[in-house]
A and B are shown apart, each in its own frame.
Chain A
Amino acid sequence: MTSDPLTLRTEFPLFAAVDGPLHYLDSAATSQIHRSALDATVRHETTARANVLRGNYRLAEAATAAYESAREQVARFLNASSPDEIVFTCGATAALNLVAWSFGERLVSGDAVLISQAEHHSNLVPWQRLRERTGIALKALPLTGEGRIDTDALPRLVGSRCRLIAVTHCSNVTGAITDVPAIVAAARGVGARVLLDGAQQVQHGPVDVQSLGIDFYAFSGHKCFGPTGVGVLWGRAGILADLPPFLYGGGMVGRVDMDVATFAEPPRRFEAGTPPIAQAVGLGAALDWMRGLPWDRIRWDELGLARQLLEGLSRIEGIRIIGPTDLADRQPIVSFHLPRLHPHDICQVLDERGLALRGGHHCAQPLLRAFGVDSATRASIALYNTAEDIEALLAGLDDALRILA
């Protein structure tokens, strides 16, 4: 299996469909969809479309088989011990909210949840709301000077009433990878659970939830070359079995009477209503394709592009990198701030040159405020990016500086 970005690029239909150059450097927001995911989605919708886990006609059986097969594909990607630990949601945000509601329902005033200042709003706001509902304490790990989660603060912040540490696996702004062993060790010391927001990590290769030693893992399909509208919550079987449902309705019940209902076993307990069936099938195909890739070489290439970008940016007077400036323990996500230039204006100028980047607060306002800025421009690199993309970005920034100054 190749790791050559130009060859891999041909497997993403969008690049062939776009007129003119496209230097797509916004994969942290949404990656492009791989042909295997697109084909599997279309194939499912055109040959096996029916509701799942309900009908007993052949088409419904085929749909259910495809859906459950996707669950197995996700389990293999995460090295989960069982497909029953895989809950399909409509995205990472929904998966995180599921934990905040279901796990949160077991918490009482005085219990504590520990997050960090690096979190995406989707792993912050649900916990704020839980605090308002239940009176839990919500604490946050601070950041180091370079924007990493400061695990040295764990002894100070992890108390005996800490029930959960919920942090990002990789920051969507800085690209910094969290020191998960330190988090897990601190949690285990007080019997707390660990939830990782894996939305940014999964794009860069398979994850081993068992070796990470965590309890929950959340991610989105559209950030790992799959369809939009589908996400995953992985949870340890014994923990999921003890949690109440999040959403209620069809498909997640045992028996319903007019006054009371019982609920299905996981994962169906957490999949109320018709799930994102074709999207799950597409995601399964994308993850199977990813599992076959030479990730050591791809990681080398991705970080090589990050190095090229960081070196180029360092030559721009006054620029500030929002996050680590080295390559250790990071993914190829690089955010930066230019004094007196607004990221929206920068991105507008870059767009004219075929460069797709995100400017704004990246749904991580507390992190940006820790750096003393309101917004930043972000380049996020994926396996289909090339040195030409980075050269185009650096040239585009020269133009932006000239035009906007």
Chain B
Amino acid sequence: MNDAIYHEAIKDLAQKAHGSGHLLSPDRCARLDNPLCGDRIDIELRLADDGRIAELAHRTKGCLLCRASASILGLHAPGQSTGAIGGIRAELTAMLVAGGQVPVWQELELFLPVRPHRSRHDCVLLPFRALQMALSRDARPLPPMGG
């Protein structure tokens, strides 16, 4: 049942938008568009001395799934290493595409009903892709989000 995707927990995460906002002087940043729908996410990071994520801020224009996914990053990404984020993303992809286990971040279980809807996988994964992009490059100021 498609409506199962839109349970209260997903809507609540999207609405709370954990981590939404700006960082004053980010060490890393990235912008990623979903070419299918024009959704866009900006991610800014401040890194600790050991390279782990110290702070994350995002601005997400997207569907409920995309915003909920970004909100989960806002909750859990701080404190994580680049390798850990890569692992979570790989596990999340496997969960969606190949019926894999739910990653260690419990809220990601909420996306299990998205499994049969391949066109929506990118909505869930867009924030993770943007975060990995930010982790892999130097900070470059992002222009206004625009359309």
Q: A349-B3, A365-B147, A404-B64 are in contact. Are A359 and B37 (CB under 8 A)?
A: yes
Is B36 part of the contact surface with A, judged by Cβ < 8 Å?
yes
Proximity bits, A43-87, B CB within 8 Å = 1, else 0: 000000000000000000000000000000000000000000000
* Closest partner residue, chain B, to A365 (CB atom): B38
Is there an interface contact between A351 and B2, defined as CB atoms closer than 8 Å? yes
Give the chain A neighbours of B2 by CB distance below 8 A: 348-349, 351-352
Cα of A121 to Cα of B25 in the assembled complex, Å? 36
The segment out of A209-217, A241-249, A368-376 that lies at the interface is A368-376
* Closest partner residue, chain B, to A371 (CB atom): B147
Is B140 part of the contact surface with A, judged by Cβ < 8 Å?
no
Q: A348-B120, A360-B37, A365-B38 are in contact. Are A342 and B62 (CB under 8 A)?
A: yes
* Closest partner residue, chain A, to B114 (CB atom): A348
B57 shortest CB reach to chain A, Å: 21
B96 shortest CB reach to chain A, Å: 15
Give the chain A neighbours of B61 by CB distance below 8 A: 374
Cα of A369 to Cα of B38 in the assembled complex, Å? 11
Give the chain B neighbours of A375 by CB distance below 8 A: 37-39
Is there an interface contact between A343 and B6, defined as CB atoms closer than 8 Å? no
- Number of B interface residues, CB 8 Å? 20
Is there an interface contact between A403 and B37, defined as CB atoms closer than 8 Å? no
- Number of A interface residues, CB 8 Å? 19
Cα of A351 to Cα of B3 in the assembled complex, Å? 10
Give the chain B neighbours of A348 by CB distance below 8 A: 2, 5-6, 117, 120
Is A148 part of the contact surface with B, judged by Cβ < 8 Å?
no
Give the chain A neighbours of B6 by CB distance below 8 A: 345, 348-349, 403-404
Is B84 part of the contact surface with A, judged by Cβ < 8 Å?
no
Proximity bits, B91-133, A CB within 8 Å = 1, else 0: 0000000000000000000000000010010010000000000
Proximity bits, B34-46, A CB within 8 Å = 1, else 0: 0011111000000
| Residues 2-38 of B at the A interface (beta carbon under 8 Å) | 2-3, 5-6, 11, 36-38
Our pick among A345, A372, A374 for the contact of B64 (Cβ within 8 Å) is: A345
Our pick among A344, A351, A361, A404 for the contact of B123 (Cβ within 8 Å) is: A344
Proximity bits, A345-366, B CB within 8 Å = 1, else 0: 1001101100000011100010
Give the chain A neighbours of B3 by CB distance below 8 A: 349, 352, 403
Is there an interface contact between A360 and B147, defined as CB atoms closer than 8 Å? no
Cα of A404 to Cα of B2 in the assembled complex, Å? 12
Cα of A365 to Cα of B34 in the assembled complex, Å? 12
- List 8 tightest A-B contacts by C-beta distance, closest first: A342-B63, A352-B2, A361-B38, A360-B37, A369-B147, A344-B63, A374-B38, A345-B63
B residues with a Cβ closer than 8 A to A are: 1-3, 5-6, 11, 36-40, 61-65, 117, 120, 123, 147
What are 23 A-B interface contacts by the 8 Å CB criterion?
Answer: A342-B63, A343-B37, A343-B63, A344-B65, A344-B123, A345-B6, A348-B2, A348-B6, A348-B117, A349-B3, A349-B6, A360-B36, A361-B37, A368-B147, A369-B147, A374-B37, A374-B38, A374-B39, A374-B40, A374-B147, A375-B37, A375-B38, A404-B6
